[in-house]
Structures are given as C-alpha cells and as structure tokens.
C-alpha cells in the first residue's frame, strides 16, 4: 500500500491511498497521515480495503506524505559515509557501538517538487539521499525486535545540508541547527510489504539513484546499514516515548564501493577526492541547480516516486 | 498578561487567560496556545481585552502552557555553566562566538506538577532550571533586533537531563537524543511587559529559586546570559523559518558566584566539587525525589508560578 498527501491549503494536506500504477488515488478514511498514524491499527484495515481509485493523481498537488512531524530523528547508519565525513570535516569520534543520531527540524518537510530556499550559496549547499521510516506510538524502552512492528511506513528523504556550517556545529557537541534546514520527501509513503523482499532486516535493499543537474551522481544501495531501522527506533526510544508520526532517518545512503557506484551527497564525493587527490574538486550546489532522487527495484519500479527539487535564493 | 493551558482530554488542552492574582481564569478566544501564536497579532488584542475571570483556576488541571510544540531549540547561554559542564564532561570545545544550541524533543512538555518517568536511576537523573521564550512565525534571516518583536511569551522550564548519557552523546558531535527526555514547564506563559523592568535586553532578570527535596539548591539570576533571547532566536532563524510556537531555551541559569548562590542543576554543583574537592560528592536524583523551581521578583511574586515535579520509575 502506498499513501500520498495532496495540497488542500492546510499544513497537513489531505491523505489519499494511491493506486498500484501510481496514476490515481482515493481519499483515505483518515483526514491526514498524522491522524492515521495515531490510530493505525484501526485505520490500516480501512486503508487496505480501498480498491477503487476514482481520482486522477495530480503530481503537482503532491506534498510530502507527512508534511510536518512532531519529531524527526536522523541516524548515520552507513559506516562508509560516516568514515568519509569524519575525514573531510576533521572530526575524531570516539569508538562506540551506539547508533549516531541527531534531532532535526520537523515542522516542515518539503514536497517532492518544492523549490528549496537557502540564504547563501557560500554555505555549501548539499543534498543527502536517505531512506526513513515512520512509526506509530513507541513506548519508552521498546526493544529492537518489538520496534520492528512499530515501523508502519517507509519513506525516501532528501536531507538538505549546509556543509560550511556542519563542521563547526558538530565540534560544539550540540549537533546541527543552522546546518540542517528542512528535508524533502518523495511522493509516496509505503507499507513494508509493498517493498517485498527488498524490505529485509529493517533495511531498504534498493538502489537510490541520485542525479545532479541531470547527471547520474550516485546509485548506492540501502542494504549495508550498520544498524537496521528497528535498531534506530529502539535507540531513540530508550529514554522517551516516541510520538506516533516520528520519522527516523538512515543517514546518507552509502556503500563501500563508492568509487564505482557514486555517492548520495556531494560531501562524500569531496571526501573521496580528498583521500584520492589531496583536495576536494567537486563544488557544492549553486542556485538554480536541481537534484533528483529515485529508489528503484531491479525491475525499474520506483515505489516511493521521485524527489526532484531546485535550490533557490531565500 | 499570563496564559495557562488546562486539561480537557486533548493533547493541546484549553487556553485560558489568568487573573492578575493567579486565582481565576477565563477561556481564551483561541482554543489552544498554538492557535493563538499562529494568529498572534489578531488574537492578542482579544486576549488583553479580557478583564472578567469567572472560573476558579484549579492548580491540578494545569498543563504546560504549550503542552507540545513543533520545535524546541535549547541554548546554553550562561558561560559560567558551560565552562563547568565542559570541565566535568571532559569536553574541549573550539572557541566560537556562535551561540550553543541543540534541538530537543518537543512533542511533549510535562505540566508543572506531572510526575516524570525515567527508565533507570543509573542514568544520572538531573534537573536544569531555565528560562525560555515562545515566538510567533519568524522568517529565515531575521536579525536579532527584529527577533525581539517576535518574542511573544516567556516561560520557565525544567530541562530534564540524563548525565550518564550526555557526555558520550556530546562526543559524537550529533548532540543529545537519549540524554534529553521531555522538559517540564511552569504554569504560566507571560507576555514580556508582565515582567516589567525584569525583562531587559532579551533577558529574564529574575532569581530562579531551585529546591531539591525541600532544600534550597540554587537561586541564580537570569540576567547574565552571554546572548539575549533575541540573539538566540536570530541564530536559530539563520537558515530556517521558525514556525509559530517555536520554544527557545536559555540553557541552565548560572551565575559566576555559584559557590555562594548555588546552581540550577546537579551537574554544575558536581563540576564545582570536582574543581574544589577533586571529585564530585553530590549524587544525582533518586526515584521519589522532587524538584521545585520558581522564579521570583524582589517583591516575592512568582510570575510563572512554580514547577514541582517528582521523578518516578518509567
């Protein structure tokens, strides 16, 4: 099952169930995705019962599936990315088995084709291709095994980052505020079974195709996460109840063979250049640039649809 | 003007305007504080016009004035606290003029007398007495001078902290997740003019009396913030629009003469003990302990009312 949220003038939009071919939809029996998540066990059956899709799906009307959330916690679960970022930022982190995670701004997620405003190109504008999950209410102390059952939806995310600010903020130990403006989301939030065998061990085992200004930039696969999403959820819930609609991110999708398959963010490519060439060659984004992100399965199907965003001066 | 939110079974409660003596209230012309903040310039006049308070104010019905927020950004603007915390945690931060700030969980603020659950005493349970402000919508790039006008309400906060987790999380550079469960808020959100000359240069110039199990623990004054709240708001808004209802915190209230006037958190006292005695002597909180926090003006009036919370096993 795939869900989308359509513009209706409100901040939360209108929830619809999407037809299997992605061309049509039907209004959901819950007004918003947040409302559906707050009563998921009751709402899910009604959502799944829908098999008539009378409304053509207008791509221009699609917002983020969850246009705002009470909580956004982003991990950094791909070791090959973390190691490179530490190298390029000059960070030495202590060895730890704990998942890395920060809390980011969640009062707004950009829709898949929304233009994204930044104050200044000199802040080093970067995209980050990620996967994420949305949970229903998770009680404090939930184990990783139990957490798997709270993962109700899977999403694809562009975690916008301002790299000139990221290193200095990280060195404070307080995490990122200015370096992490709102993220974007791909059109469709999908239930785990929609991904079939490509949802495995709490990982989205799909290639995430990333194109920058029409050129392929990366096609990393989501399988090699150091922790599965269920483990990230349990980490987040150790000392707090997670409110229904909490979004948990994977961090930038990255594979150890990044020299062959490319990267899901510019900073990673720059890190590779630092390692291989002694200095970063690839510039960050300019106003007017576009990024496209689309996870595809081996048959070429894109379960989440595509993010396609242009950066503009704010 | 002082506002409070009363339990009505919903997550956001029912907004009331509080009588000058704090004994009675009147339902506000906006259902919730969030709604009032989203249309503040229209709603404020109607709120201020209320001069009849027919409903006795039941202290047991009082929730946090903003029981959940889309965003909670907490600073650490008291240098005497920051220096001590770095010493006790073994953190070496780079010198920077940037305000320190992290994003914390905001889907729930405990009410002033709510019991607070934690999974384990061994996580080193600590309180942190703070002041905070609540803004209406602040556009990206707002200056500090402009930000002053967006500060609509001032609140008093208990930023619950789990110190055993704080140092390790800080060293990752990602900031705090497990170390920062939900905060508590004092009963009343007050407009700036309610504080008179004690709201000055973006600072709450009041003593914050903190009592732990009935014993005075600290009485630090809010005046010596390294940055005023308007500067913290502008910092937060550099690369993002701040949604109406964003809460910005001061960090633990602390004064350089902490040996005389005490501290607003246990970790600071332990830091002093490390400096003076070579080791920390004061233990953290135990289940069943209470903390009371009440800012008072020179006449003994408590504009925010008092936080009085007990910690319990979660």
- Alpha helices for chain B (secondary structure H): 33-38, 40-48, 79-89, 144-148, 163-171, 229-236, 258-261, 266-277
Q: Which residues of A touch B76 (CB under 8 A)?
A: 174
Average pLDDT value over all residues in chain B: 96
- A252, A140: one domain: yes
A212 and A306 fall within a common domain? yes
Minimal CA separation from B53 to chain A, in Å: 33
In this structure, the answer to whether residues B122 and B242 fall within a common structural domain is yes
- CB spacing of A103 vs B175 below 8 angstroms: yes
- Give contacts of B106 with chain A, Cβ < 8 Å: 70-71
Domain boundary pick from B17, B36, B63: B63
Q: Which residues of A touch B226 (CB under 8 A)?
A: none
Residues constituting chain B:
314
What are the tokens at B183? 């905060």
State the sign of the Cα–Cα–Cα–Cα dihedral A164, A165, A170, A172. Answer: positive
Q: Name, in order, each residue with C-beta under 8 angstroms of A134's C-beta and a sequence gap of 6 or more.
A: A33, A37, A66, A69, A151, A152, A153, A154, A155, A189, A245, A246, A247, A248
Q: Is residue B89's pLDDT more than 90? A: no
Q: Which residues in B lie closer than 8 A to residue A244 (C-beta atoms)?
A: none
Distance CA B161, CA B118 (A): 10
Best residue of B38, B68, B73, B103 to probe chain A, by most A CBs closer than 10 Å: B103
Weakest mean pLDDT among A213-222, B84-93, B300-309: B84-93
pLDDT in tens, chain A (314 residues): 999 999 999 999 999 999 999 999 999 999 999 999 999 999 999 999 999 999 999 999 999 999 999 999 999 999 998 888 777 767 676 667 789 999 999 999 999 999 999 999 999 999 999 999 999 999 999 999 999 999 999 999 999 999 999 989 998 899 999 999 999 999 999 999 999 999 999 999 999 999 999 999 999 999 999 999 999 999 999 999 999 999 999 999 999 999 999 999 999 999 999 989 999 999 999 999 999 999 999 999 999 999 999 999 98
Locate B138 and state its tokens: 């602040």
Q: Give me the domain span that covers residue A80.
A: 66-313
Region at A45 (left for phi over 0; alpha for psi -120 to 50; beta for the rest)? alpha
The answer on A300 and A252 residing in a single domain is: yes
Contacts of A214 (CB under 8 A, 6+ apart): A290, A292
Per cent of chain B over pLDDT 90 is 92
**Same structural domain for residues A240 and A149?**
yes
Using a CB-CB cut-off of 8 Å, the residues of chain B touching A118 are 239
Residue B298, Ramachandran bin (φ over 0: left; ψ between -120 and 50: alpha; else beta):
alpha
- CATH number of the domain residue A121 falls in: 3.90.850.10
Question: CB of B90 within 8 Å of any CB in chain A?
Answer: no
Residues B27 and B71 in one domain: no
Query: DSSP string covering B239-280, please?
Result: SSPBPTT-EEE--S---TTHHHHB-SSHHHHHHHHHHHHSS-
- The answer to whether residues A50 and A148 belong to one domain is no
Nearest to A177 among B73, B108, B243 (CB): B73
Give the DSSP H or E segment for B117.
strand B116-118
Are residues B211 and B121 part of one domain? Answer: yes
Chain B (169-188) residues lying within 8 Å, Cβ to Cβ, of chain A: 169-179, 181-182
Same domain flag for A231 and A307: yes
**Does A119 sit within 8 Å of B239, measured CB to CB?**
yes
Could you tell me if A14 and A149 lie in one domain? no
Q: Which of A12, A43, A63 is the last residue of a domain?
A: A63
Q: Which of A224-238, B83-97, B156-170, B259-273 has the lowest mean pLDDT?
A: B83-97
Does the beta-carbon distance from B94 to A314 stay under 8 Å?
no
Q: What phi and psi, each to the nearest 5 degrees, are found at residue B242?
A: -95, 125
Inspect the interface and report whether the beta carbons of B102 and A103 lie closer than 8 Å: yes
Please judge whether B71 and A108 are an interchain contact, meaning their C-beta atoms are less than 8 angstroms apart: no
Beta bridge partners of B309: B291
Asked if A165 contacts A126 with a C-beta cutoff of 8 angstroms, the reply is no
**Predicted interface score ipTM higher than 0.90:** yes
In this prediction, residue A201 carries a pLDDT of 98
| A257 Cβ neighbours under 8 A, 6+ residues apart | none
Question: Which of A23, A48, A63 corresponds to the end of one domain?
Answer: A63
Handedness of CA A216, A217, A220, A222 (dihedral sign): negative
Q: How far is B111 from chain A (nearest CA, A)?
A: 16
Asked if A101 is an interface residue toward chain B (Cβ–Cβ < 8 A), one would say yes
Check whether residue A103 and residue A178 sit in a common domain.
yes
Residues of A in contact with B168 (CB under 8 A): 94, 96, 98
How many angstroms separate the Cα of A3 from the Cα of each of A15, A35, A72, A154, B299? 7, 13, 19, 10, 58
pLDDT number for residue A98: 84
Average pLDDT on B290-297 reads 98
Q: What's the number of CA atoms in the CB half-sphere (13 Å) around residue A276? A: 11
Domains of chain A: total? 2
The predicted pLDDT at position B82 comes to 84
Is B214 found in the same domain as B287? yes
Residue A298, Ramachandran bin (φ over 0: left; ψ between -120 and 50: alpha; else beta): alpha
CB-nearest to B174 from A141, A175, A239 is A175
Q: Does B147 lie at the interface with A, CB-CB under 8 angstroms?
A: no
Cβ–Cβ gap B108/A170 under 8 Å: no
Contact B119 A239 (CB under 8 A): yes
- Report the share of chain B in percent with pLDDT over 70: 98
């Amino acid at each position: 099952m795939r869900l989308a949220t359509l513009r209706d003038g409100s901040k939360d939009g209108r929830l619809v169930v999407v037809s299997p071919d992605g061309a049509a939809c039907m209004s959901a029996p819950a007004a918003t995705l947040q409302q559906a998540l707050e009563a998921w066990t009751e709402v899910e059956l009604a959502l799944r019962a829908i098999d008539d899709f009378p409304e053509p799906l207008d791509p221009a009307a699609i917002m983020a599936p969850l246009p705002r959330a009470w909580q956004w916690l982003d991990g950094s679960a791909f070791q090959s990315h973390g190691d490179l970022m530490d190298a390029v930022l000059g960070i030495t982190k202590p060895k730890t088995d704990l998942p890395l995670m920060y809390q980011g701004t969640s009062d707004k997620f950009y829709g898949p084709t929304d233009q994204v405003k930044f104050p200044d190109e000199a802040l080093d504008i970067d995209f980050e291709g990620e996967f994420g999950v949305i949970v229903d209410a998770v009680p404090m102390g939930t184990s990783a095994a139990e957490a798997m059952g709270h993962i109700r939806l899977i999403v694809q995310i562009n975690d916008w980052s301002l790299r000139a600010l990221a290193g200095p903020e990280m060195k404070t130990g307080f995490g990122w505020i200015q370096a992490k403006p709102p993220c974007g989301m791909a059109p469709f939030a999908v239930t785990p079974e929609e991904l079939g065998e490509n949802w495995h061990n709490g990982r989205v085992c799909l290639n995430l195709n990333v194109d920058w200004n029409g050129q392929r930039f990366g096609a990393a696969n989501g399988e090699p996460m150091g922790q599965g999403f269920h483990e990230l959820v349990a980490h987040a819930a150790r000392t707090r109840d997670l409110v229904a609609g909490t979004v948990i991110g994977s961090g930038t999708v990255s594979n150890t063979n990044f020299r062959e398959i490319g990267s899901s963010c510019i900073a990673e490519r720059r890190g590779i250049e630092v390692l291989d060439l002694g200095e970063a060659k690839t510039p960050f984004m300019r106003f007017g640039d576009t990024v496209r992100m689309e996870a595809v399965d081996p048959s070429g199907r894109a379960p989440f649809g595509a993010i396609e965003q242009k950066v503009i001066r704010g």
